[in-house]
Amino acid sequence: MSVATPARDADARIGWLERTLAGISANIERAVFTEHHARIRAFLQQVDPRAKLGMFLAFVLAASLTSSYAVLLILYGLTLAAAVASRIPTDFFVKRVWLGIPLFAGIVVIPSIFFVPGPTIFALTIGPITVAPTVPGLMGALMLVMRVGVSVSLAVLLVMTTPWADILKSLRALRVPQVFVLILSMTYRYIFLFLHTINGIFLARRSRLVAKAGGSEQRRWIGGTLGALMSRSFKMSNDVYAAMLARGFTGEMRTYTTFAMTGRDWFLLAASIGIAAVLLVGDMVWLP
């Protein structure tokens, strides 16, 4: 029978971290550089990015303000219908949303299930501790997870059906501050670059490692690697900004895409705002 050692455990943690970073960088590379789904000629891909951004903002606002499960289900149904009409694979879209941020939101909201006062579902006593989830706490947690799920679904659908440069240009059309758009663009792009740098560091270390390192040595290496990566990121930021200034950068994001609102775009924008307003009014009047 094999016995786990600290060195073997440390190697396992490093391998897990390396595989995780490689998976994250591969996903970001597909999202940022290929933009496969955003180039398909389908329903949302042919809508003007400014109208599309307004549509999604209206639905996100409705999801944030509503307190009705029925409204959230309707909004999510509309989101899934739009994804299907835009030729987004349904299984891929659902997994990408519900295996990510909503689960983390659920973990964050778990304590409220036990601390919100109200009728209890059951009571479980373990020594001096009594676990008693309440009905209001559970319903509130479910409402938060559904809101986050609908909002994230809308955001993912927007990113998957719109090139990133067009989203940034649409933000400027809505008078979002120029500095915010610039920071968002640089951050989104260079996260991928630094993840690739970390993968290269892991690969270089593995190719030069002969014997297994101990746990303390592994921790020292990870700390040194993080410090070196931070130093490299500061240097690269200065170099990139100097190169941008040398090429005439004035602070404004520019793209080759020209926007032109058509009657169809105006109709979809007005219809989305109208649907969001009707759902919110219905929430206050008759929906549970």
pLDDT tens profile 52-92: 999 999 999 999 988 888 899 999 999 999 999 999 888 87
pLDDT grade for 3, boundaries at 50, 70 and 90: very low
Mean pLDDT, the chain, integer: 78
Residue 243 and residue 271 in one domain: no
Q: Which residue has the higher pLDDT, 227 or 47?
A: 47
- For residue 240, give every residue at least 6 positions away whose Cβ sits within 8 Å of its Cβ, in sequence order, or none: 186
Residue 123 and residue 82 in one domain: yes
Per the domain annotation, does 266 fall within a domain?
yes
- Predicted local distance difference test score (pLDDT) of residue 83: 92
Range 37-60 average pLDDT: 89
Residue 123 and residue 266 in one domain: yes
Residue 262: both structure tokens together? 């058509």
- Predicted local distance difference test score (pLDDT) of residue 97: 79
- Predicted local distance difference test score (pLDDT) of residue 283: 76
Per the domain annotation, does 57 fall within a domain?
yes
Range 214-243 average pLDDT: 78
Residue 158 and residue 264 in one domain: yes
Q: What is the DSSP letter of 40?
A: S
- Predicted local distance difference test score (pLDDT) of residue 2: 45
Checking if the pLDDT of 209 tops 80, the result is no
Q: How many domains does the chain have?
A: 2
Residue 205 and residue 96 in one domain: no
Per the domain annotation, does 12 fall within a domain?
no
What pLDDT, in 10s, does the model give residues 109-134?
777 777 777 777 777 667 666 667 78
Residue 246: Cβ within 10 Å count: 8
Instruction: Give me the residue label for tokens 């955003």.
Output: 38
Residue 106 and residue 122 in one domain: yes
Residue 234 and residue 264 in one domain: no
Per the domain annotation, does 181 fall within a domain?
yes
Range 185-191 average pLDDT: 76
Q: How far apart are CA 98 and CA 27, in angstroms?
A: 16
Residue 252: Cβ within 10 Å count: 9
Checking if the pLDDT of 156 tops 80, the result is yes
Checking if the pLDDT of 268 tops 70, the result is yes
Residue 116 and residue 248 in one domain: no
Checking if the pLDDT of 210 tops 70, the result is no
Q: How far apart are CA 17 and CA 11, in angstroms?
A: 10
Q: Are 20 and 195 in contact (CB under 8 A)?
A: no
Q: Which domain holds residue 251?
A: 176-256
Checking if the pLDDT of 274 tops 60, the result is yes
Range 32-39 average pLDDT: 67
Checking if the pLDDT of 15 tops 60, the result is no
Highest mean pLDDT among 89-98, 194-203, 259-268: 259-268
User: Which element (helix H / strand E) includes 159?
Assistant: helix 135-161
